[in-house]
Each structure stands twice: as structure tokens, then as C-alpha cells.
Structure 1
């Protein structure tokens, strides 16, 4: 029997990974909110990998309480993820996937573009997804990983925040509101450079975001999390003294 896989949080995305690992022969052990991780770690101290499949807002409490034995085995799948998020918890080099597929209740998996995976356990994750015909590929260095994480942040934040103003889908957003997209993306770029401490190639990231727009042109811009994403972005900007004029204009228009 293959080594077990632990999945912390069995929502829609966590369940996709569970199905993939089961298909590749790995026993799957879910850890839900009402289960103590330390107790579960005593039962399964050396899993093949530990998928932290909680939402963005639950990531830091989860990592703060992650058992030491699981830390070298953890894999992160959250949106709005950057290296500082795992470094603050003493995780030097976790496995990370930028998830580019969507799974909603009652619907099948929808692919946007292939999902890049980095880290020691990347092959396990790509194997589990490929078993479900979900395309994923290996990323081999941290610089490429950072680009892919920022690309996903461009996509989510730009489409969500611009969508608060004009609604619609990503195809119409770019076709009908290109100046707005460019203005919001420029502000997102400012935030991402601040959060990463790196100089980033804005035009390359913008084009990579547009490739993702083309992967699922009917994807709706404004999900339930859009207002909270705008609020978090402005909190970061305020704390760092950043201008982000397009984001502030959209926020003001909603008051």
C-alpha cells in the first residue's frame, strides 16, 4: 500500500485532490475543523504529503498550529499566496501549487489553464491531478514559482476588483474595459512588488493574466470574495503608504 495523504480541509478543492490521490492508490485521511491536528499527527506521523486545503482566511491559523512532523510535508494551494505567507511560519521550502481549476458544488471541474506545481512533493500532486485529467506541470525554481503566484494574484485581484465596477465576465472585461483593466492591474502590480520585495515584469504578468482570461472567457469577474479582496488590498496599501488610485476610485464609487 502507498503512503497515506493527509488533507486539511475537505471543501470542493480538497475533495478534488482526495479523489486524485485515491485514484493513484494513496489512502486519504481528512482533517476537519473539529479534529485536533496534533492528535491526528500522532496517528499519521509520516504521510506522503499534507495538503493544506483550507481557505485563504484560515491559512495562517492552520500553519500556526501545524504539527512539526508535518511541516516538511506540507503543500499549499491557496489563492493570494506569496512566499511571505509561509516564511512567517518557519516553512523554508514547502510544496506549492497555483490552482488553475475551479470546482463548485454540483458542478464538474472547470480548467482555466494548466496548474504549475513546485517543491519536494510536486510530482505527487501533479500525478494525482493528471489521474483526473486535470493538467498540471512541474516548476523547478523559486523565481518561476514567484512569477506563477503573482500571475494568479493578478488574475484574481484584477478581475474581482474591476468586476465590482463593471460586472460581466473576463472576456467582456478586457474587450470592453481595457483601460480599467490596465489601471487596476497597475495597482495590483504596485501591491505585489511591495509584498514580495521584488521588481516584477508588469507587461509579462499582464500578458500571462490575459492568457488565463482566454482559457475561460466566460469566467465571471466578481465572486463573493471580491469586496473582501478590495478591502484587504486597500488595507495593505494604506499600511505601506501606496497610492493605488484605481482601487481607491472603485472603493469610493461603492460607498
Structure 2
């Protein structure tokens, strides 16, 4: 039998990964909120992978509590993820996936584009994804991972924040509200550059966002976390000293 997979976070994405790991021949041990991580690590000190599938708001508390035996085996997959999120916990080489598939209750998995994966356990993860029919790509280096994380952040933040104003789906956003989309996307990239200390090829990232739009034209813009994402983006802009006038206008209109 293959080594077990630890699953922290048993939501829709966690469930997809659990099925993939099981089909790839790995037993899966779920960890609920009521379970003590240190005690569980004593029972399973050397799992093949520790999948951290909690939401972005719960990520840092989980990483704070992550037992030493599991720290070099973790997989991160949250939205709005950037290297600073794991570096602040002294995690130097986690496996990271930019998730480009969606799973909602009562619905099948919907893939938008292939999900990029990077890190020491990338091949194990890609095997599990392939076992449930989800396409993935292996990234060559940490720079490629950073670009992919920024691409996903650009997509998530731009669509959610525009969605607060205009609703609808990404096809309508690109067709009918192009000036708003362009302005929000530009300010989101300002924020990503401030958060990473890096400069990015903006035309290439914008083009890659539109490729993702084509992968699922009916994808709804305004997710249930849109207001929280806008509030978080404005707080980050304040700390970085960024003007972001379009985001501030959206905040004045949609935040209370």
C-alpha cells in the first residue's frame, strides 16, 4: 500500500483531491477542526503528502499549528496565495497548486484551464488529479510558479471586484465592461507587484486572464467572497501606499 495522504480541510476541493488520491492508491486520513494536529502527526509522522485545503482565511492558523514532521510535505492551494504566505511560517519549499477547476455542491468538477503545480510532491499530486480527469501542468521553477499565482490572483480579484459593480459572467464583463475590467486589472497588478516586490509582464498576464475567460465564459463574476476580497485589497493598498482609485471607488460604493 502507498503511504497515506493527510487532508486538512474537507470541503469541495478537498473532496476532489481525496478521490484522486484514493484512485491513485493512497489511503486518505481526513483532519477535522476538532482534531489535534500534533497528536495526529504522532500517529502518521511520514505521510506522502499533507493537503491543506482550508480557505484562505484559515490558512495561517493551520500553518502556525502544523507539526514539524508534516512541514516538508505540505500542499498549498488557496486563492490569493503568494510566496510571502508560506515564507512567514519558514516553509521554504512547499508543493503549490494554482487551482483552475471548480467544484460546487451537487455539481461535477468544472475545469477552466489546466492547473499548474510546482514543488517536491508535484508528480504525486498530478497523478492524483489525472486519476479524476483533471488536467495539470508541471512548472519548471519558482519564478514560473510566482507568475502563475499572480495570474490566478489577477483573475480572481478582477472578476470578483468588477462583479460587485456589474454582476454577470466573465464573457459579458470582457465584452460589455472592458474599461472597468482594464482599470481594475491594472490596479490589481499594481497591488501584486507591491506584495511581491517584483515587476511583471502586464500584457502577457492580461492575455492569460482572457484565455481563462474563454475556458469558462459563463463563470460568474461575483463570488460570495467578493466584498471581503475588496476590503482586503484596499487594506493591502493602504499598507503599500498605493492610490488604486478605481478600487477605492468600488469600496465607497459596495463596502459598509
TM-score of the superposed pair, with normalisation by structure 1 = 0.99
Q: Distance in 1 between matches of 2:46 and 2:56?
A: 25
Match for residue 131 of structure 1? 131
Q: Distance in 2 between matches of 1:137 and 1:39?
A: 35
Alignment of 1:49-198 (within 5 A): 49-198=49-198
Aligned-residue CA RMSD (Å): 0.7
Pairwise CA distance, 1:197: 0.7
Q: Distance in 2 between matches of 1:85 and 1:234?
A: 18
Deviations 1:70-114 (A, max 9, x none): 000001010000000000000001000000000011111000000
Runs of 4+, deviation exceeding 4 Å: none
Structure 2 counterpart SS, 1:117: strand
Pairwise CA distance, 1:253: 2.1
Match for residue 218 of structure 1? 218
Match for residue 28 of structure 2? 28
Q: Distance in 2 between matches of 1:60 and 1:162?
A: 27
Query: What are structure 1's unaligned runs of at least 5 residues?
Result: none
Q: Distance in 2 between matches of 1:123 and 1:248?
A: 42
Query: What are structure 2's unaligned runs of at least 5 residues?
Result: none
Match for residue 251 of structure 1? 251
Q: Distance in 2 between matches of 1:156 and 1:186?
A: 13
TM-score of the superposed pair, with normalisation by structure 2 = 0.99
Q: Distance in 1 between matches of 2:32 and 2:124?
A: 22
Deviations 1:10-39 (A, max 9, x none): 110001000000001100000110100001
Deviations 1:98-142 (A, max 9, x none): 000000111110000000000000001110011111101111201
Q: Distance in 2 between matches of 1:93 and 1:2?
A: 23
Structure 1 counterpart SS, 2:137: strand
Q: Distance in 2 between matches of 1:137 and 1:26?
A: 21
Match for residue 19 of structure 2? 19
Q: Distance in 1 between matches of 2:140 and 2:199?
A: 20
Pairwise CA distance, 1:250: 1.1
Aligned length: 255
Q: Distance in 2 between matches of 1:199 and 1:144?
A: 13
Q: Distance in 2 between matches of 1:111 and 1:120?
A: 24
Pairwise CA distance, 1:240: 1.5
Q: Distance in 1 between matches of 2:174 and 2:214?
A: 10
